[in-house]
Amino acid sequence: MEDLPPQLLGSGSKPHLEKLTLGVTRILESSPGVTEVTILEKAPAERHMISSWEQKNNCILPEDVKNFYLMTNGFHMTWSVKLDEHIIPLGSMAINGISKLTQLNQSSMYSLPNAPTLADLDDDTQEASENQPEKPHFDSRSVIFELDPCSGHGKVCLVYKRGKPGLAQDSEIWFLDRALYWHFLTDTFTAYYRLLVTHLGLPQWQYAFTSYGVSPQAKQWFNMYKPITYNTNLLMEEADSFVNKLDPSKVFKSKNKTLVPKKKGPVQPANSQKGPSVPPSTSKSSSGSGNTVRK
């Protein structure tokens, strides 16, 4: 299925694209130097494509992953910065489409007899601890699928911890760094998607969840464009802030959902002994970050 032309996000962008990005495009567009915030719009996957994937790989996709693919067959959002009249690509958020959700290759690393495989590189000394679940394995004990190639800095993977047949409740999201060490990210795809978007796709952001952290160069970009998870003011805005209104567990739904109008309650007569009521428009807004956006 072909990708649709990239969409420049901003005023007049399609509502389902704004919903898919959890509204962070407005924060990016208000950040100094940010330009060309774009998303490659992808058509939804058909249900038979998901069923074929499950039969081929003998694994059941979690419901949130299915709902994601039924809304968009993959995800790719990018943004750039303008420095000294030069435009530099910086942020990249990506999730492979259903056809590219492929299992990590367990064949020989070299086309030679008795060559090592990924399973031969498995380090059984790095087992589970009190604060860390048991790591995935490259052999038949785990089934691993690549969600995001991370621009070559590693791989974010959907991991089935019990092997085949893969059950949805046995899946987790892990990050595999370039040294082939595993780092746990989240229990669910929905939680990982929120991490992906709120970290703005900054380079090497996944390494913030490792013991050695991000590189000095990546840390400079983090200081210039802080992830939303670092900006606590944004998470403590008033109730009608778009950050609090968005529920990532509901974002992967059909965009053709019918809205049911709310029933109005009975109008109560005004009490003549009470003072004049305050119009809703005079309610004070929070003194939080300037990036607050109201619908």
DSSP-assigned states of every residue in 272-284: TTSPPPPPGGGPP
- For residue 11, the model assigns a pLDDT of 43
- How many angstroms from the chain centroid is the CA of residue 154? 16
Find, among 119, 139, 137, 143, the residue nearest to 58 by Cα. Answer: 143
For the chain, the maximum distance between any two Cα atoms, rounded to a whole number of angstroms, is 94
Q: Report which residue type is found at 148.
A: D
Predicted confidence pLDDT, tens digits, the chain (295 residues): 455 555 555 444 566 666 777 778 888 888 888 999 988 888 999 999 999 999 999 999 999 999 999 999 999 999 999 988 899 999 999 999 999 999 987 544 444 455 555 655 565 555 555 566 889 998 889 999 999 999 889 999 999 998 889 999 999 999 999 999 999 999 999 999 999 998 999 999 999 999 989 899 899 998 888 887 554 343 333 333 333 344 545 555 555 555 555 565 565 555 545 454 444 444 444 444 444 444 4
- 237-267 pLDDT, tens digit per residue, is 333 333 334 454 555 555 555 555 556 556 5
Write down the pTM of the prediction.
Answer: 0.69
- Cα three-residue angle 118-124-128, rounded to 5 degrees: 120
Q: In this structure, how many other beta carbons lie within 10 angstroms of the beta carbon of residue 138? A: 19
- For residue 272, the model assigns a pLDDT of 47
Mean pLDDT rounded to a whole number for the chain: 75
- For residue 63, the model assigns a pLDDT of 96
Q: How much of the chain is in helix, strand and coil states, percent to nearest 5?
A: 30, 20, 50
Residue ranges and CATH numbers for the domains of the chain are 15-106+133-236 (3.40.1580.10)
- For residue 136, the model assigns a pLDDT of 92
What ranges make up the beta strands (E) of the chain? Answer: 6-8, 34-40, 75-83, 86-95, 143-148, 154-160, 171-177, 182-186
